[in-house]
Structure 1
């Protein structure tokens, strides 16, 4: 299990995302800089213990955004456009922070989560399963979970796997089940500004869509 270090990250995650989010096609705030707050999320474990994997939800006023992140100890070659920024970790040193939709480790573990081979972990507590994060999928093995293509649109992010399946990330999650045609889905909770927690779909899975 990944160890969550109680230390500093400079610049902080929200600082990095403040500069990065307005350039995304699914950002709803126009040209202004967002005023971000943490609103939820969870982690998955890299079996090799090298890459930090976090599905983070941040809130800008009434709008929540799903931002999958990976943290690496060295640059990831070939995906320079996915780099959100670098930060200094108080224990681990320099970290390269990526939009995890283009990181093969995150995508492989997300596929494993759909298949029930791994469990979601608490966002801020070491060695603790997050039972609020649910994966529903009754199909067979997904096959090769390498990344064939990643497409960002106003609706979200589509990750086409080399095995043929498609993962669609709901970048602006809403309460409810979402796309009824999906072969699988990951649902989780986040915290709105004032109300109780909301539950909605974060990722859907489609066969050969």
Structure 2
């Protein structure tokens, strides 16, 4: 379960992404950035916030942007740092492009390979928030996932491939590209996109 606070973030997530996405080689849009939908995973240790945002710039395609929020810098991950933001409850948060974060890799692998999907969101510990999109996995019932300890390397722009010590993950950036993914696949649908599209996949030994 992902715990959400009623809080303000300065700069906002969209402001931070608006400042950083146009410089990414996989970003293919212009104009003001809008939030389309989002889904979350839960860090079992409760230390890292994990959210994947779907955003659109102007009339461009929908892009998938996985993010992690940390209370301190992640060692060796400067290349993936998008910036910092002040959270009115939690203080300074370091915001990362999650493809370089081992915690994201671990929970993504678990969500895909076990079929766990997205986390339920609980606001201020009491109010359940309805999801803004539907996420599902092609995993068979009862499937398990190997533990992920580290990210070995990250390659490619779109899709991006995350090689870990146990699992290879693929994450699609631009969701209109019609990418075919191998292995167990995570799909998503949202208002205006009723047919599920591939979001990510996992290949385990």
User: SS at 2:153's partner residue?
Assistant: strand
User: SS at 1:115's partner residue?
Assistant: helix
Cα deviations by residue, 1:138-192 (Å, 9 ceiling, x for unpaired): 4965535231110132x321111212x321111001387x416x1111011234x
State the TM-score, normalizing by the size of structure 2.
Answer: 0.85
| CA positional deviation for 1:106 | 0.8
Cα distance in structure 2, aligned partners of 1:168 and 1:104: 14
Residue 179 of structure 1 is matched in structure 2 by 180
Residue 56 of structure 1 is matched in structure 2 by 53
Cα distance in structure 1, aligned partners of 2:130 and 2:154: 29
1:24 aligns with 2:24: yes
- Runs of 5+ consecutive residues of structure 2 not aligned to the other structure: none
1:150 aligns with 2:150: no
| C-alpha RMSD of matched pairs (Å) | 2.6
| CA positional deviation for 1:121 | 2.2
Cα distance in structure 2, aligned partners of 1:2 and 1:207: 26
Match of 2:44 among 44, 47, 68: 47
State the TM-score, normalizing by the size of structure 1.
Answer: 0.83
Residue 134 of structure 1 is matched in structure 2 by 136
Cα distance in structure 1, aligned partners of 2:130 and 2:103: 19
Cα distance in structure 1, aligned partners of 2:54 and 2:121: 10
1:71 aligns with 2:83: no
Q: What is the aligned residue count?
A: 198
Q: Name which of structure 1's ranges 15-24 and 44-53 shifts more when overlaid on structure 2.
A: 15-24
Residue 162 of structure 1 is matched in structure 2 by 165
